[in-house]
Chain A
Amino acid sequence: MSAVAEKAVFGTAPATKGRSTGGFWRRVARHVLRDKAALFCAAILAAIAMSAIFAPWVAPADPYKTSMIRRLLPPFSPHFILGTDELGRDMLSRLIYGGRVSLTMGLAPVILATVLGGSLGVIAGYFGKHINMAIMRIIDVFYAFPSVLLAVAMAGVLGAGIVNSLISLTLVFIPPIARVAESVTTQVRDQDYVEAARATGASAARIIVQHVLANVTGPILTYASSLVSIAIIISSGLSFLGLGAAPPIADWGLMLNTLRQAIYVAPVNAVLPGVMIFAASVSFNLLSDSLRTAMDVRA
């Protein structure tokens, strides 16, 4: 066929010059990187996380070393930049070490709940009908409890401790994630390209993994990321009630609890750990917001 005829039959220049602009996640990353507020938050989180991970080298003092004569020293005291707590331990070191427990207790339940709840939701959404009803009704029962109540009740029943509060927090977050996963999967399942995939004779497992998941993980992860800040708040809250980390472990929520008695004597020390919780929570919140707007934008 001549070049002219070929053009007539097969069409003219392509819609965009050259090759592809990259996959979905690359575009999302580009958008987030351009958001200054999000970058700032990421930097804060990185600082907290890094100092937590490298705590033995970063912290100026031993977080467990008590000293009866040096109790409740105010900030800017010599050797103790942020002062000391009610047992004479260095606040800065305890805050840095506290990051280990508090951040883990915030991230781990959300990650676990995303995997478990996400799988449940995707299965319920893809197969529909009876499987959907069975799974989602059970999920709805747990949804009937307010989050804090469920977390506290479960932690109360299982007993105090980090592992138990991890379990109860995971249980609290599985229902909302499962719901989001089910809702998104149901939308995706009805699209033509899923039908086309079924038309090739592929098994359900293959279709879910190769077609559905790619389109569904975006919204699920965005939603999950918005839960991290809540997780940090609730897990610190559990420690605050004495249901999470036990003394003498350094944990921001627990520190708020033990320093409460000193609130009249050393108010600034008493509220310091909360600043860390607040900072971490806000940063995660803004980052997840940026992620959400990045995903709404089509390049």
Chain B
Amino acid sequence: MSLSEPRQGVSTKETMAQPSIDYWKHRHVLDLDDFSREETDLVFEIAEGMVEILDRDVKKVPTLRGKTIATMFFEPSTRTRASFEMAAKYLGADTISLDATRSSVAKGESLVDSLRTLQALEVDAIIMRHNCSGAPYLAAQNLDTSIINAGDGWHAHPSQGLLDIFTMRQQLGDLKGRKAVIVGDILHSRVARSNIWGMRHYGMKLVLCAPPTLIPHGLRDMLEKYSLNHVTIEHNLDAAIENADIVMPLRLQKERQQSGLISSLREYIQGYQINSSRLAGAKPDVLVMHPGPMNEGAEISPDVAYGTRSLIEQQVTNGVAVRMALLYLIAGGKNR
């Protein structure tokens, strides 16, 4: 950490001494495809300020005092939910969390109606996870309350994408020319999709590496359609990992074998597990990340997961800081 450069601008009076943000337009955070470079940078800049709060003995600031943040998860989650709730609490907000599997949704209430109830209770933001891709978009269309997508189906997980790139920048500085490799179940990975969009601003190369069955149909068309030229697809891990700065294996769910997407776990491990002999082909100071939860011994070997090149713990800490930044931008101040 260093004393950051004072920003340019003229102090007019004490209450105006800070630079104000007029280019943050988001009422919702749904995915990173509509985040400009400027907006992504802003999240990172604010998150750096939040990292300092996480270092303190008293991890509490009064910024969102009197605000209520709701989490509504229609799918199991431990770390994302805990991370968002801690972020809200450190900023002084009250949190309520609804476990949709045990709430009125289980009695047949529709998604929009459940969320309307939260809106009627005047919560300031709803953090939602849903197993259907696009569910947060439906919510955002039907509600005035801010929606933060904490993962929807296979589609997007914007806060994870932001924290991944934030962690890379923290370690490597400028990401221009750096090579990241995401390995594994790209097909079912909302983390990979959000990273694709997030990384497009930073001049990085991103290689998606998986057996052909775990690469989504139409991915190449999407990359072409949106000119996402920083992304390439590679089926051979040794080729993908060559000279990589960052390697990020994705969790391999054991059910994938039953559905026939991989022939056997043993074969997958041989072809795609990230372990120390595999990493020998990358840059000597390669960094390893993982969005969690991990299946140790499947997509990643334990010595790599807990080794010196692993950033997995930093990702968890940074996740809280990045989510604090998002909550500050979404729920702090009027933005309407």
Asked whether A and B interact, the reply is no
B residues with CB within 8 A of A: none
A residues with CB within 8 A of B: none
